[in-house]
Structure 1
C-alpha cells in the first residue's frame, strides 16, 4: 500500500533589517540607495513573471546636465539607463502658436523601466546585503514586538514569511484616500517609426494643445523624438474618467495624421496608463514598522503627474535616516506645493480656468529654468508669488478661498464597464 508523500516542510523565515515590497521605480530606487557602505540587510520582494508584473513603462524627469562638472548628483545617478534626453522643450497653444524654451542647465530625460530595472539589478547583485525574492506579497502587517511581517507566495505555490525591523511598501493602494478633487492623468502612447524624417531629436513637445478638449480638464499631445524617424507619441488627458482603448486609438490617429501630419508610419509598440491627480492626503506610515513609498506614499506631484524625481528624493532621505538609526518617510512634496496644486486641480475641474491657456501662458511668461524648478517644488515663496501673479488671479483666488470649506469625499470605484487597462 502506497503511503502519501509527506507534505513539504515550510520554507524557513527570512529576517532582514529592511523588506521592500514592490520592484517598480520606488522599490528599486530605495533598494539601490540602501546599498551604500554600512547599509542594512535588505530583502526586495518583486512580483514573479505574469499578470502581476506591470508592462514596460516610460519615466521622465529633468535634472542637471551631467556635462556640467559642477552639477550635483541627483536622479541622474541612473544616467546609464537614460534612453534619450532633450535640451529644448516646446509647448503648442490651442491657437497653433508654439513656444520653445531652453531650461539650461536642466535637461529633460527619458528612461524605460526595463533599462532601469536592468541597471539597478546589476548593482544590487554586487551588494552582499541585498536579497531579491520573486514572490507575491499577500499581507503586510505590524507585529506585536514592534517589527513587521510580510507573508508571500512563491511561484511554486509555497509560502514565505519575511520578518524585518522596517517594511517599505510600494504597492498601489486598493483605493485612494478621501479628497476634494480627484482627477486622473490618463494616456496612451505609440512608439512610431515614420517613412521619412519627421522629428527633431533636439526638441521634446511637452504639451501640444492642438487637439479637441474634454468638457472637464484638458487634453494634449506629447512627443518625445528618439531619432529623426522615431518617437514616442502620446495622447494625454487630465480629466475625471479614463477612456476606452478604442477612444485613445482614435485620438492618437487624429493627432498623428491630422495634427502632426506624419504621413506613413508603423506603430512598433504601445503603452497606456493612469496616474492619480488628487489633493488627497497620503499617509506614509501605516504602523510602527510599516511605511508606504512611491505613488502609494504621495510621491506623484498632484498637478503634473511627475513621480520619478520625487521618488529619488524620498529614497535618498529614507536611506540617510536609516543609516543614522532612524526610520522615517519624509513628505515628497512641500506644503506650499501641495496647496498650490490643490487650487489648480480644483480650478481645472470646475472649469474656472482654461487649461491650455493656463499652461501655455506659464511657458510663455516665466523663465524656463524657474518654471521647471517650480513644477519640481524647488522655488522660494517670493518666486512662487511672482509666478502666481502671471496666472488668472481672480479664478485662482476664488478657488483658494473656497477650498477650506469643501469636504474630502471617499473614493468611489469606477462604473462597471469602464476600461482602465
Structure 2
C-alpha cells in the first residue's frame, strides 16, 4: 500500500486536536493544505464534560448544555455564594462537541479522519496499527512515556473523579447556581470535594473529585456519591441516567522538551492543562489560535505556549499539595472565597498582571507557599 503524504497530521481527536482542526478549517491559509486526523476511537459518545468560565458570548454558547451566573463554595464552617458577573460558568458535553467538529470537517475536501492507533512516530513518519502515514508536521496529543516513567524531578498529582448525572421526580435544584467545591465530605486527609452542576430543577451532575496521587476503587467513588446525595442534597430517590469517570494529570513536568523538528505536542502532552486546576478547554481554544498564528508567521507552532510565569505558580501549588495534600481545602477556600472572585478567574485564565498575581498569592498566606515560592523562584 502506498504511503499517503499530508501537510499536517493531528494525533488524537480530543479537545486539543479538534480545536486545532477547527481553527484550520476557518482560516483560508489552510484551504489547500491536506490534513490527517488519527484517533483510535470513533468519538461518538459522551466520554467527558468540559466546564469553564467566560466573560462574553462565544461560539461555545451554542454548544453549551447549560450556563450558570451564580456559584457557591462550601466547607464545614460556611457557605459562600458568589455572583460570577460579568462571567458565566459553562458546560460543554463532549458528544455535542464531537458532533459539531465532525459536521465542520464533513464540509471540507482536504481533511481525512482515520480510525487508527498510533504506535510510533519517527521524524515525520507515523506508524499506525493499520497503516503508515507521513506528514510535513505532526501535532501529537499522546503523553510521552518519560512522564509515565517519572523520569526527572517534578511534582505530579492526579485529578481523578467520578460523576453521576441524576434525575429526581421532584424539583430539587437551583438551575442558576452551581457548587464549585463542597468540602463537607472528604476522603481521608486529602484534597477531595464534591462538584454539583444543576442542569434543570430535576437534573444535575454530581461529581466526587480528588487532587492527590492515589486512585480509589470504583465502588469507593460510588459510596461517596451516594453519601453526598443522601446526606447533603437530602435526596433519597433518584435515577442515575449517565456516569462519567476520568483522570487528569496535574504536573509541572517539562512537556515542552518533547517538541521536535517535525512534532509539536498538544493538549495535556503539550502542557495545555493548567496544572493547578485541571482546566483545559479554554486553554485548547487559546493555544490553538496561537499555533495558527505561529504557523502563518513561519515560526515553530508551539512558540510562546505554556511557558509563562504561570507555570512557576503552578509548580509552587503542586509542590505544596504534594507534600501537604491536607492543605487543599484551606488553600481553595482562601482562593475561591475572595470578595473579587473575578480576579481569581483572571489569574486562572492567565490574564492577570504580575501585581495581581502577587495579590492572589499573598491571599493564600501559607508558609508552605512562601517556602515553595522562594525555592522555585531562586533555584
Which TM-score tier does this pair reach, normalised by the shorter chain? over 0.9
Query: Which residue, 31, 48, 53 being the options, matches 1:57?
Result: 48
SS of 1:384's equivalent in the other structure is: helix
Q: Which runs of 5+ in 1 are unaligned?
A: 1-9, 67-75, 143-147, 407-421
Aligned to 2:345: 372
> Which deviations, in whole Å up to 9, do the C-alpha atoms of 1:262-313 show, x marking residues without a partner?
2211111111111111221112643211111000111111110111111111
- Contact 2:290–2:305 (8 Å) recurs in 1: no
SS of the aligned residue for 1:82 comes to: coil
On the 8 A contact 1:310/1:333 being kept in 2, the answer is no
Aligned ranges 1:273-292 → 2 under 5 Å: 273-283=246-256, 285-292=258-265
Q: Which residue of 2 aligns with 1:89?
A: 71
Q: In structure 2, what is the equivalent of residue 399 of structure 1? A: 372
- 1:90–1:99: 8 Å Cα contact kept in structure 2? yes
Q: What is the RMSD of the two structures over their aligned residues, measured on CA atoms? A: 2.2
Q: 1:386 to 1:401 in 2, by over 3 A?
A: closer
Structure 2 distance, partners of 1:124, 1:236, is 34
Residue-by-residue CA offset, 1:341-386 (whole Å, 9 max, x unaligned): 2112222222287221221222222411111111122110111122
1:247 match: secondary structure: helix
Alignment of 1:7-406 (within 5 A): 10=1, 12-35=2-25, 36-39=27-30, 40-49=33-42, 56-66=47-57, 76-95=58-77, 97-142=78-123, 148-154=124-130, 159=131, 161-176=132-147, 178-215=152-189, 217-283=190-256, 285-351=258-324, 354-403=327-376
1:249 Cα deviation after fit = 0.7
With the length of structure 2 as denominator, give the TM-score of the two structures: 0.92
Cα distance in 1 between the residues matched to 2:20 and 2:375:
38
SS at match of 2:145: coil
Instruction: Give 3-state SS (helix, strand or coil) of 1:365's partner.
Output: coil
Structure of larger gyration radius: 1
- Distance in 2 (alpha carbons) for counterparts of 1:218 and 1:352: 6
C-alpha separation in 2, matches of 1:61 and 1:370: 15
More helix by share: 2
Could you list the runs of 5+ residues in structure 2 that have no partner in the other structure?
none
Aligned partners of 2:191 and 2:326 also within 8 Å: no
Q: How does the TM-score come out when normalised to structure 1?
A: 0.83
2:45·2:95 contact (CA, 8 Å) conserved in 1? no
CA–CA distance in 2 between the matches of 1:386 and 1:115? Answer: 38
**Preserved contact between residue 298 and residue 331 of structure 1 (Cα < 8 Å):** no
Partner of 1:70: none
Q: Is the 8 A contact 1:179 1:279 kept in 2?
A: no
| CA positional deviation for 1:116 | 0.3
